[in-house]
């Protein structure tokens, strides 16, 4: 059976995919359905307007928008929907994507975009944040997040134990 699509992932270009596919992997881990589209605030503004303004009525709960450079996609999407919008600034050659980060995060008051960091950690966090937003109204997802946090604790404890072991070895 096909999963319900609850998250829309938008990218300014197909060239962004390689850098942001961690978004989809994180959603897969929680079995959350999504759709992915390439559309651009600058190259296909009408398409972005249509997507953002109909997303809620189509049943989406969160939109994740990734773009690089003059990264206005998330902001434009946020201006046309009441859904929560997560912005993923795509890493560029300019100081690791500082251009994308500032273009995404510096929204005017009243139009929030929850902006994550650049790089693979940011993309992953966008997916997890989307799950956390959906989990506010979904007890199954909320439980999965508790288990996820427990696994994180165990993972870091194991790393610490391994590191302590390494320190105790004679150099
Ligand atoms: C942005 O311009 C896209 O999100 C991408 O990061 C960047 C370059 O796009 P391409 O020229 O590779 O299509 O809008």
> What pLDDT tens digit does each residue of the chain (171 aa) get?
467 999 999 999 999 999 999 999 999 999 999 999 999 999 999 999 999 999 999 999 999 999 999 999 999 999 999 999 999 999 999 999 999 999 999 999 999 999 999 999 999 999 999 999 999 999 999 999 999 999 999 999 999 999 999 999 997
DSSP alpha helix (H) spans, 40-116: 45-54, 73-79, 98-105
Cα 105–chain centre separation:
13
Q: Give, as one character, the DSSP assignment of residue 16.
A: G
Ligand 1 within 6 A of CB of 99: no
Token pair, residue 92, equals: 């560029």
Locate the ligand 1 atom nearest the alpha carbon of residue 40 and give its number. Answer: 14
Ligand 1 within 6 A of CB of 13: yes
> How many angstroms separate the Cα of 80 from the Cα of each of 46, 66, 74, 92, 104?
11, 16, 10, 26, 16
Q: How far is the CA of 16 from the centre of ligand 1 (A)?
A: 7
Most ligand 1 atoms within 8 A of CB, residue of 19, 23, 68 to mutate: 68
């Amino acid at each position: 059976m096909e999963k319900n699509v609850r998250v829309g992932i938008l990218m300014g270009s197909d060239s962004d995919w390689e850098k942001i596919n961690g978004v989809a992997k994180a959603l897969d881990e929680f079995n959350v359905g999504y759709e992915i589209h390439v559309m651009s605030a600058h190259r296909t503004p009408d398409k972005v307007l249509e997507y953002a303004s109909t997303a809620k009525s189509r049943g989406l709960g969160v939109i994740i928008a990734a773009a690089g450079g003059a990264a206005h996609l998330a902001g434009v999407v946020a201006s046309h929907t009441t859904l929560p919008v997560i912005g993923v600034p795509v890493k560029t050659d300019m100081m690791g994507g500082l251009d994308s980060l500032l273009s995404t995060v510096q929204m005017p008051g009243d139009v929030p975009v929850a902006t994550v960091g650049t790089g693979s950690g940011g993309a992953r966090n966008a997916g997890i944040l989307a799950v956390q937003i959906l989990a506010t109204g979904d007890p199954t997802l909320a439980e999965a997040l508790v288990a996820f946090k427990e696994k994180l604790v165990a993972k870091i404890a194991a790393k610490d134990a391994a590191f302590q072991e390494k320190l105790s070895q004679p150099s």
